[in-house]
A and B are shown apart, each in its own frame.
Chain A
Amino acid sequence: MSEKIYVFKVFERFWHWSQAALIITLLLTGFEVHGSYALFGFEKAVNTHTIAAWTLVGLWIFAIFWHFTTGEWKQYIPTLQKVDAMFKYYLTGIFTNAPHPFRATRLKKHNPLQRLAYLGVMLFIGPLIWFTGWFYIFYDKWPDWGWDQYLALEWVAFFHTVAAFLMLIFLIAHVYLTTAGHTLTSHIKAMITGWEEVD
């Protein structure tokens, strides 16, 4: 028998989807600015990228505040417990209809692999992208701030692009793994309605 539990609060869902839209916009415009294809035109791509980036910064500041005031930050405490089980499930169990090794609850929304992946996004890809992005955006000011002797735009752009590729790879895996819940659509439904179907 399956039952439904309320996993994601309104703010989390709002945060998730607006972040998703912004990140996809940033990837699309960012790789155009990088020179991978032509879509919006350089000028528009730059402007959109900049606006989307600042919007995302605002959203993140708000989300960090929310996580700490609600205690939801605990969702991202890493654990290695059952990580091997998750891997095993994705490598074999999922093909043989084995039971999902993780059961979401209100207090534990993410499976251990999700915890690690999201923590990685927030502690590694995020900061890498933010800091290189800020250096990039304030490139004009380097000489005024005396930074030009320590920084080279080429390397700032390099690491910003590295982070973008990592984010793209995360996005691919993340979108696919939405189908790997208890049912094909249970994760997606949960992210839309807040309610997830569990066994």
Chain B
Amino acid sequence: MSKLQQPYSWAIALVIAAILGPGTAGATSTADHSRFKELQRTFNSGPEVTQACLSCHTEAAKQVMRTKHWTWEFLNPATHQKLGKKHVINNFCISVETNQPFCTTCHIGYGYKDNSFDFTKQENVDCLVCHDTTGNYRKQPGMAGNVVTREMEFPPGSGNIVKPVDLAKVAQKVGKTSRDTCGGCHFNGGGGNGVKHGDMDSSLSAPDEALDVHMDATGNDFGCGTCHATSSHDVPGSRFAPTAKDTKGPLMRGKHEGRNPATCVACHDNAPHKKIARLNSHARKIACQTCHIPTFARGGVPTKMSWDWSTGGKMGPDGKPLIKKDENGHVIYDAKKGDFVLGENVVPEYKWFNGKVNYTLLGDKIKAGGIVPINSFEGSPDDGKSLIWPVKVMRGKQPYDPVNMTLVKPHTAGNDDTAYWKNFGWEKAIASGMESAGAPFSGKVDFIETEMTWPITHMVAPKADALACADCHQAASRLKGVPGIYMPRHSANEWLNTAGWGLAGLALLGVIGHGGLRLYLWRKGKK
């Protein structure tokens, strides 16, 4: 393994940034797509564009189809759990099941509207959503990832007219992925800007240095692909199986060797602190992110911290579903969804994490009375594989089946008579969702508290804003409650303190008494 020197890795990173940076694609690409005959025509649908793409990029769709961007499935090699958006339950919009037309607005295909979607049809791969450079390629919710090709009113009845996308124009300007194309979905996870991750929202589309030292649009200008260096359309770095501890040192860009190129270490080495070596040794136990991401949701976009589905369904005085907003105009109650708590500049929680994530999946028995971990991060101070990671813990209350003791998948989105967002009836919505998933449902509904853990890894602050020693080395430490740590100034043996100060105090009292008596007798003797 060659050890990449710091100046080198910087130079390489800068070159990559220049190549991948948004807006530069046209200048550096070897192809001007507007000159391709295949693209100089009218396109009536997304799949027609894809067929044109595939006439040259013959392997592209096959590559895409192997990825979880397409399958929405991920088999976790460590836990053997079948994950992916198709399968997991969360405590945001809960589940994709029966809600595909809405959820799959963010699928990279066309027409994934229900479980009958044909995952083998190459022309259904959406090339443009990732490779658009115009910013004009938009997909509307409820259309199963299809693109608007005719003028339409959206949302229906709103009077808002959505114009069709000029597919030929978009196709002729395709280029590398960008913060905007990746962000189109990843900034908006959970149903809106910044909702889900906490460390990813639209503020990262052109961040300043303080928000993200790497992505800084007028500085390093990294795109998503700079770190998530992609090969054969498979984007590395997944929260289903993250690399919690990368001990292998820097990774030459372009080389993969089965490693995740999106770790900090992959560029920075395992000992990046050249001046203060003590900080490097901290990295044995602490993820880089812990110090270098002091707070998340720093870009002015709030993230959801909690979501209580149990309070949904309230109507306003006008008889219409109630919506409440906070003083900044952010929705904090929506009859369709319940109560939200939003957060900005949030101090993360901290957990030992070894990269293994266990999910509570549909059918897993849950325990009443407690808090159900939607997922849980595995890790311990002693396994040698864990680091202390900053996390966003999304807290919620969501429906479950109190007879079968399982989480449930409700049918929420849609305009039909079982959709919760239409009828506000949980029993029907859940019966419909569970039937579609082929899972048993007792007909009874109750609500249970849940927690979901999200790793915080974006919005890396400049080094001057990193945590200082005292943020952790004090009694009211950020790491308070993290098990298995002894830190100076944070942990002390109270028994020892009592005994130590007690004995020192006695010694002091002793000498004061002794000296006082001497002084007294000396004065008395002088008289």
Residues of A within 8 A of B (CB): 32-36, 41-43, 46, 90, 94-97, 139-140, 143, 152-154, 157-158, 161-162, 164-165, 168-169, 172-173, 176, 179
Contact = CB atoms under 8 A, between A and B. Distances in A.
Interface stretch (B106-114, B235-243, B514-522): B514-522
A43 B511 contact: no
Interface string B495-527: 011011101100110110011011001000100
Given A157-B488, A165-B504, 16 more contacts: A32-B489, A35-B490, A35-B492, A42-B470, A43-B470, A94-B518, A140-B277, A140-B278, A140-B284, A143-B284, A154-B491, A161-B496, A161-B500, A165-B499, A176-B511, A176-B515
Interface in B469-491: 469-470, 473-475, 486, 488-491
A162 B468 contact: no
B218 interface: no
A37 B489 CA distance: 9
A29 B501 CA distance: 16
Given A140-B281, A169-B504, A172-B507, A154 B486 contact: yes
Nearest to B277: A140
Interface string B245-279: 00000000000000000000000000000000110
Contacts of A161: 492-493, 496, 500
A95 B521 contact: yes
A34 B515 contact: no
Given A95-B521, A139-B281, A158-B496, A165 B486 contact: no
Nearest to B508: A172
B469 A43 contact: yes
B503 A46 contact: no
A173 B468 contact: no
A41 B489 CA distance: 11
A179 B522 CA distance: 14
Nearest to A34: B492
Nearest to B500: A165
Most chain B CB inside 10 Å of its own CB: which residue of A34, A96, A162 = A34
Contacts of B501: 36, 165
Contacts of B525: 97
B487 to A, nearest CB: 9
A71 B401 CA distance: 86
A153 B504 CA distance: 24
Interface in B40-57: none
Contacts of A34: 488-489, 492
Contact of A41 (B277, B470, B497): B470
Contacts of A95: 517-518, 521
Contacts, number: 77
A176 B518 CA distance: 12
Given A43-B469, A143-B284, A158 B475 contact: no
12 contacts: A35-B490, A43-B468, A46-B469, A94-B518, A140-B281, A158-B496, A168-B500, A168-B504, A169-B507, A173-B511, A176-B511, A179-B515
Contacts of B277: 140
Nearest to A159: B496
Nearest to A30: B488
B84 to A, nearest CB: 36
Nearest to A160: B488
A162 B496 contact: yes
A95 to B, nearest CB: 5
Nearest to A176: B511
B496 A169 contact: no
Contacts of A152: 486
Contacts of B496: 158, 161-162, 165
Nearest to A41: B470
Contacts of A173: 507, 510-511
Contacts of B521: 95-96
A35 B514 contact: no
A74 to B, nearest CB: 29
Nearest to B503: A169
B281 A33 contact: no
Contacts of B508: 172
B473 A42 contact: yes
A139 B284 CA distance: 11
Contacts of B281: 139-140
Nearest to A95: B521
A172 B488 CA distance: 25
A164 to B, nearest CB: 8
Nearest to B491: A154
A28 to B, nearest CB: 14
Pairs A-B, 3 closest by C-beta atoms: A140-B281, A165-B500, A176-B511
A110 B473 CA distance: 43
B521 to A, nearest CB: 5
B504 A158 contact: no
Contacts of B489: 32-35, 42
A152 B381 CA distance: 12
A58 B519 CA distance: 40
Nearest to A139: B281
Contacts of B517: 95
Contacts of B515: 176, 179
A103 to B, nearest CB: 21
A106 B493 CA distance: 45
Nearest to A164: B500
A157 B486 CA distance: 9
A165 B278 contact: no
Most chain A CB inside 10 Å of its own CB: which residue of B474, B486, B499 = B486
Contacts of A33: 488-489
A161 B500 CA distance: 9
Contacts of A172: 504, 507-508, 511
Contacts of A96: 521
Nearest to A136: B488
A158 B495 CA distance: 10
A188 to B, nearest CB: 14
A162 B500 contact: yes
B265 to A, nearest CB: 17
A176 B511 CA distance: 6
Contacts of B504: 165, 168-169, 172
Contacts of A139: 281
B392 to A, nearest CB: 27
A176 B513 CA distance: 11
